[in-house]
Structure 1
Amino acid sequence: MSLLSRLSKGVGLFLLGTLAGQIACAAPAERVVSVGGSVTEIVYALGEGHRLVARDSTSSYPAEAEALPNIGYARALSPEGVLSVSPDLIIASAGAGPVETLDVLKQADIAYAEVPEVYSPAGVITKIETVAAALGAEDKAKALLGDIAPDLETAHAEAQARAGEAPVRVLFVLSTQGGRIMAGGRNTAADGIIRLSGGINAIDAFEGYKPMTDEAVSATAPDVILAMDRGGDHGVAMEQLASLPALIPTPAAQNGRLVRMDGQSLLGFGPRTADTIRTLSEAFYEAHAK
């Protein structure tokens, strides 16, 4: 049994045992609300999308999900919005909220399953197992993981081999509101995917996503700048990024080493993570070779 499999099995058994106490439905839930882009993606990957009656605003993949009622942003849910679709099960990513809304939903006697966010291959597997357990679709999870688990290991190994002994330094830019860069530090989805793809996170001074001074950004000296490709400020054009005073002196901006990807693919840690690792690894080292 591989290390990845052992990690997944150990963490998965603990979480599934906890989950059994969270879900009190005697019959399989037929009116399910999914909260979190990767949660929704997993529900569809398991072939259970027909049971969804609503999703949150971060759930835009697959395309069918966008036809579902939107109950709002995952971290700013209202009890009224969720209850309006009469769910018998809510499956939500860890961090969904606010706490006050979750308290109301749990008091309403609606089964609630929390899906952990762990930014690793084992974390992807645990997510799938947890969602499947909530839906009573464990057999489908086994079939899905039969493809996904080995592909994750292979993609990770390929990325590490491509990086070799000279991994690139990558700066993840979450936003540039007001010209000030908010970057991803340790223990974030951005940090996790950068490392899995064979890069080094240029930010090691803090955890989470935080705004930085121009001087601090310049000092990170990234080889590659990574950003999300979506609308609004998060989708800022690469030309704009490269012209920001904080980035102008960096090797990444000077050499045009800029990579952009859809936010859900990039940070979701869902079924498409192996493809994301391959795409980023190729982009990091193709850009680095310029």
Structure 2
Amino acid sequence: MIRRSQFSIALALFMIAAHAYAAITVTDDSGATVTLAAPAQRVISLAPHVTELLYAAGGGAKMVGAVSYSDYPAEAKQLPRVGDNKALDLERIVALKPDLIVVWRHGNAQRQLDRLREMHVPLFFSEPHHLEDVAVSLTKLGQLLGTSSTADAAAAAYRRDIAQLRTQYANRPPVSVFYQVWDQPLMTLNGEHMVSDVIALCGGRNVFAKLEPLVPTVSTEAVLAANPEAIFTAAPGATKPDTTLPKLNTWRTWPSLKAVANNNLFAIDGDLINRPAPRIAQGAKQMCEDLDLARSRRKSGAP
């Protein structure tokens, strides 16, 4: 006869073993259910921000491929390349035998996504729109990778960074902001984009938040009519707050524009502000500091 203590130990071991092989199910950013029979061991990233998320979630050792511009952290530069956001190397993806592919929902061509589905490899669609979504993505990817302790710690650290910025800046006097994505044609971001979340976090106001689609085209006349107090753009590599790019300098043609009159033309490292990954907290910190600089440049009595 098995003693009660022996039975309890045997039952506990059985439960641990059963849990170890239990299926893992999460919901991705498209609302689809993603189920793995066991933690992923061979993962491919199809977007630079996804690569950053996977490494931060503790999955670096499990990655077998990534797209071009997956350059952070440094180890990611050594991963085999499987194409870019315009075209994927489907043959190489098949050869790498992934058991999970993390896809950028709006960055990868639909036709090629259909081909990926035909491979019957689980796909996780990543499309974070809000600052909190970065932490949620880390947690979900950690579950799929079997690295929840690392992923949860990264999510908590990220949330602390964002909360600190919100506490410090959210109640500052508002600053109207135009975020310039491109100059020809002139493009910006609406209120559904994460950059708009960053602007609000810092006490700013996106002057084109209500436009559609996510990346709308606007006219120079519309920007002049909105008369933003600060204009931002992304730069290739870190820049100082008072450094402007040629595409921003064109605004100096209109010296009465508030952003020009107060010299509030700012460039931020694009990798820190445009990628919906943990480093966006660094980009947010830079934007918050720039907006505080814009406030300090207000003429006495100016809003």
TM-score normalized with structure 2 length: 0.77
Partner of 1:280: 287
Partner of 1:10: none
Distance apart, 1:271 and its partner CA: 1.5
- Secondary structure of 2:188's counterpart equals strand
| Cα pair distance change 1:186/1:46, threshold 3 Å | closer
| Cα pair distance change 1:181/1:82, threshold 3 Å | same
Distance between the aligned counterparts of 2:153 and 2:81, measured in 1? 30
Partner of 2:222: 216
Matches within 5 A, 1:98-137: 98-120=109-131, 122-137=132-147
Partner of 1:266: 273
Consecutive unaligned residues of structure 2, counting only runs of 5 or more, are 1-24, 238-242, 298-303
Of 224, 242, 249, which aligns to 1:242? 249
Distance between the aligned counterparts of 1:118 and 1:243, measured in 2? 30
* Structure 2 residue 35 is the aligned partner of structure 1 residue 23: yes
Partner of 1:5: none
| Cα pair distance change 1:183/1:146, threshold 3 Å | closer
| Cα pair distance change 1:96/1:206, threshold 3 Å | same
RMSD: 2.8
Partner of 2:192: 187
| Cα pair distance change 1:80/1:104, threshold 3 Å | same
Partner of 1:45: 56
Distance apart, 1:237 and its partner CA: 5.0
| Cα pair distance change 1:148/1:237, threshold 3 Å | closer
Distance between the aligned counterparts of 1:274 and 1:237, measured in 2? 22
TM-score normalized with structure 1 length: 0.81
Identity %: 27
1:76–1:96 CA contact under 8 A, matched in 2? no
Of 227, 232, 245, which aligns to 1:226? 232
- Secondary structure of 1:279's counterpart equals helix
Distance apart, 1:105 and its partner CA: 1.2
Work out the number of aligned pairs and report it. Answer: 267
1:116–1:127 CA contact under 8 A, matched in 2? no
Between stretches 31-40 and 79-88, larger displacement belongs to 79-88
Residue 230 of structure 2 aligns to which amino acid in structure 1?
Answer: V
- Secondary structure of 2:170's counterpart equals helix
| Cα pair distance change 1:84/1:262, threshold 3 Å | farther
Residue 218 of structure 2 aligns to which amino acid in structure 1?
Answer: M
| Cα pair distance change 1:252/1:160, threshold 3 Å | same
Partner of 1:85: 96
Distance between the aligned counterparts of 1:59 and 1:125, measured in 2? 20
Consecutive unaligned residues of structure 1, counting only runs of 5 or more, are 1-12
- Secondary structure of 1:276's counterpart equals helix
Of 144, 156, 174, which aligns to 2:181? 174
Superposed CA offset, 1:87-118 (max 9, x none): 22111233242222122112212121122412
* Structure 2 residue 151 is the aligned partner of structure 1 residue 141: yes
Of 196, 203, 206, which aligns to 1:201? 206
Distance apart, 1:263 and its partner CA: 1.6
Superposed CA offset, 1:250-287 (max 9, x none): 21122211221122210223222333322211111113
Distance apart, 1:226 and its partner CA: 0.7
